[in-house]
Amino acid sequence: MKKKYVLEFILFTSYMLFAMSWVGAATFMKDIMQMTGMQSLTQASILSTSLTFAKIIGTAIAAWTIVKFGIRNAFTVASALMCLSIVTPYAPNYPILLISRFLMGLGGALIIVYFNPIVYKYFEPSERPVINGLNAIAFNVGTAIMMFGVPFFLSVFGSWQKTLLVISCASIAMLIIWLILGKIDLESNNSSSNVNDKKYSLVDGLKDRFNWIFAFTYSGLLAFYIVLFTFYPKAGIIQTKQVILFGIIGAIAGMLYSNKTKKRIPVLRISGFIQIIAAFGLSFAGESQLIATASAAALGFFMFLPMPALVTYAQERPNTNSQKISVTFSLFWSISYLVATIIPTIFAKIVDYNSGNYHSAFIFICTIEGTFLLGSLFLREHKQ
């Protein structure tokens, strides 16, 4: 087996396990609150916010860590931070739980940026759409496993603590595998990606118009995704599982599509248009469960169908290199998570202002989701 496929296995599995730890902690939040003596939902909210804050910081500094420490050492540190999920099921008090969860989130934020330079360095252009698609669904796969597998895990392991412990031990195992098998010079290259290997700093990235359009395109979708799983169930809309499942199917379809054609923009624009229709359909389905379920399925499918093309599009920019890719995706995720932190707060404020009525808030968030379509209109197909 080629070493690059071992690398991809480690990347995918590590981030999938991160998702399982994150979603698992949310699933068992009442038990965690009781164990650590948490007295209010505010503390639980701060715990969740700390992970989001960690993602903003982690993605912002990811490109710097690659330049400073080399991507192999940076990935090792990020993996070790994610392994701190082992503290969650046995944290003696709230402060230790909060710190450990923050550091775990920081590790996850770093790795989501590291995906891209590693893929760019080690995989040929013809392979990248499939690999990018796999990485795009790693979090969804972990989420789906926890959403559907918790009863099974509890029956096998006996308790919520042992369930989270086993997931964390699996993360530690992935770190060990990385230390043993990941001894690859990621600063060298096995393909043609070392051409145009010029320096590209964070300042250069901030001056680059493309990076702002690229992040803008995704930021609204990410904000909607977070609102969907945070607030929609409270509004009585329970079709989130369909979004997860059809998101995985959509990403697989996106891999196949992006591997067959070099054109990236059409699938972005078509998917962006259908996303808006499906988002409004899910939000305003009312009593019709059929419309809500169909909209959720379409939403999940077309949210993830364009992801392989979107990521590959940035990797195919003219005169690009690994450092440029690192900075681009560092800004991409940092800006997107910043927007996705602010928007849910505004959404909640709108609901509160309307005395618990979600109608205006749904219009707001569905409009924000439209940045994917709007941003794609400013992107142009690369010359082949």
pLDDT score for 225: 92
145 and 199: one domain? Answer: no
Rounded (10°) angle between helices 94-122 and 128-157: 150
Domain boundary (158, 187, 216) is at 187
Reported as a single tens digit per residue, the pLDDT across 130-186 is: 999 999 899 989 999 998 999 999 999 999 999 999 999 999 999 999 998 866 554
Distance separating alpha carbons of residues 269 and 139, to the nearest angstrom: 24
160 and 261: one domain? Answer: no
pLDDT score for 41: 61
Reported as a single tens digit per residue, the pLDDT across 348-375 is: 899 999 988 999 999 999 999 999 999 9
158 and 300: one domain? Answer: no
- Kindly tell me the sign of the dihedral angle through the C-alpha atoms of 154, 156, 162, 166: negative
The single residue listed with the structure tokens 């364009």 is 306
Distance separating alpha carbons of residues 303 and 372, to the nearest angstrom: 9
Domain containing residue 235: CATH number: 1.20.1250.20
Average pLDDT of span 215-243:
91
At 201, the pLDDT band (50, 70, 90 cuts) reads confident
User: How many domains in the chain?
Assistant: 2
Average pLDDT of span 215-229:
93
At 72, the pLDDT band (50, 70, 90 cuts) reads confident
- Domain range for 116 is 1-187
118 and 220: one domain? Answer: no
pTM for the full predicted model: 0.87
What DSSP element (H or E) covers 378? none
| Distance from the Cα of residue 142 to its chain's centroid | 11
121 and 266: one domain? Answer: no
Burial class (CB in 10 A: 0-12, 13-18, 19+), 203: exposed
Contact status, residue 374 vs residue 258, Cβ threshold 8 Å: no
The single residue listed with the structure tokens 């939403």 is 299
